[in-house]
A = this chain, B = another copy of it.
Amino acid sequence: MARILVTVMLKPEILDPQGAAVRNALGRLGLTGVNDVRQGKQFVIELDGDLDADRDALLHKLAAELLANPVIEDYRLEVDAQATA
């Protein structure tokens, strides 16, 4: 079994209204010195068997084009070594 984490964040230059809302809320609730908050998505993907080269390549492609919207988002893909047997 393999467990993959894909994290998708808006590109730094793109407006992130959700992050801004969270930043303001944190400030209102007393957290000082909050410089910036960005909000993204995390996908936890559990695959049967292990991640061979083919599936790894496909996964990267799908992360880049399906999970992330390449026009406005970047993605990061990590294999969760602990959970991956």
Q: For residue A45, which residues in chain B have a CB less than 8 angstroms away from its CB?
A: 26, 34, 36-37
Q: Give the number of times this chain occurs in the complex, counting copies.
A: 2
| Contact A48/B62 with A7-B42, A43-B22 known, Cβ cut-off 8 Å | no
Chain B: minimal CB distance from A2 (Å): 9
Q: Do the beta carbons of B26 and A62 come within 8 Å of each other?
A: yes
Interface: A70 (CB within 8 A): no
Interface: A1 (CB within 8 A): yes
Nearest neighbor of A28 in chain B, beta-carbon distance: B66
Q: Do the beta carbons of A42 and B40 come within 8 Å of each other?
A: yes
| Contact A66/B25 with A30-B58, A59-B31 known, Cβ cut-off 8 Å | yes
Interface: A82 (CB within 8 A): no
